[in-house]
């Protein structure tokens, strides 16, 4: 399953500090049983929630675990929770693993009914947490330059990777 987190940073003057904190947070997340991988992105398309993180999870039960509530979730973001808005947390079924988007590639996020041209998409159904989007698709374009023509299409976000995909230690 895919756990997708979207948000905007209010304190834009603290962006470098926030990026460093978020990378540390990602390492903490993949130490939690049931969270298998994580990667973070920034939308190049206009969006109220321009930052996107994809986390591969075993299922919605992960978010009720003692390990998760001790390290993550709204309580695990510390001071940053007050410096973010347009924050949405959705669990999607239909795609078992997060894609490994190359650093020079793009993640394409598509709302139900939108047209992403010939990008191969994998559709997902919301099954947990906020359920702010009932149905959504993701796709990967190997080269960011090849995705730029999608910017401005209604319901389509082109997102550049901010981090490589991190996977749990085995």
**Domain definitions of the chain by residue range:** 2-167
In this prediction, residue 71 carries a pLDDT of 85
In this prediction, residue 144 carries a pLDDT of 97
Sort residue 7 into left (φ over 0), alpha (ψ -120 to 50) or beta.
beta
- DSSP strand E in 2-155: where? 2-9, 35-43, 51-57, 84-93, 106-111, 122-129, 135-141
Q: Which fold has domain 2-167?
A: Alpha-Beta Plaits (3.30.70)
Could you list the pLDDT tens digit for every one of the 170 residues in the chain?
999 999 999 999 999 999 999 999 999 999 999 999 999 999 999 999 999 999 999 998 998 999 998 888 777 777 887 888 899 999 999 999 999 999 999 999 999 999 999 999 999 999 998 999 999 999 999 999 999 999 999 999 999 999 999 998 76
Prediction pTM value: 0.94
In this prediction, residue 89 carries a pLDDT of 93
In this prediction, residue 72 carries a pLDDT of 86
In this prediction, residue 156 carries a pLDDT of 98
Cβ(85)–Cβ(6) below 8 Å: no
Cβ(90)–Cβ(4) below 8 Å: yes
What is the Cβ-side half-sphere exposure of residue 19, based on CA atoms within 13 angstroms?
10
- Cβ neighbour number for residue 97 with a 10 Å cutoff: 14
């Amino acid at each position: 399953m895919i756990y997708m987190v979207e948000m905007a940073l209010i304190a834009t003057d603290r962006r470098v500090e926030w990026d460093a904190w978020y990378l540390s947070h990602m390492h903490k997340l993949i130490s939690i049983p049931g969270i298998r991988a994580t990667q973070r992105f920034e939308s190049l398309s206009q969006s109220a929630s321009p930052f996107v993180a994809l986390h591969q999870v075993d299922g919605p039960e992960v978010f009720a675990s003692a390990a998760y509530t001790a390290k993550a979730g709204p309580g695990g973001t510390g001071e940053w929770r007050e410096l973010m808005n347009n924050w949405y947390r959705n669990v999607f079924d239909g795609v078992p693993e997060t894609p490994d988007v190359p650093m020079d590639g793009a993640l394409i996020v598509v709302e139900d009914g939108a047209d992403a041209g010939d990008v191969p998409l994998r559709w997902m159904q919301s099954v947990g947490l906020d359920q702010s989007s009932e149905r959504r698709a993701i796709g990967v374009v190997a080269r960011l330059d090849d995705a730029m023509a999608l910017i401005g299409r209604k319901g389509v976000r082109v997102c550049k990777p901010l981090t490589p995909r991190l996977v749990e230690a085995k």
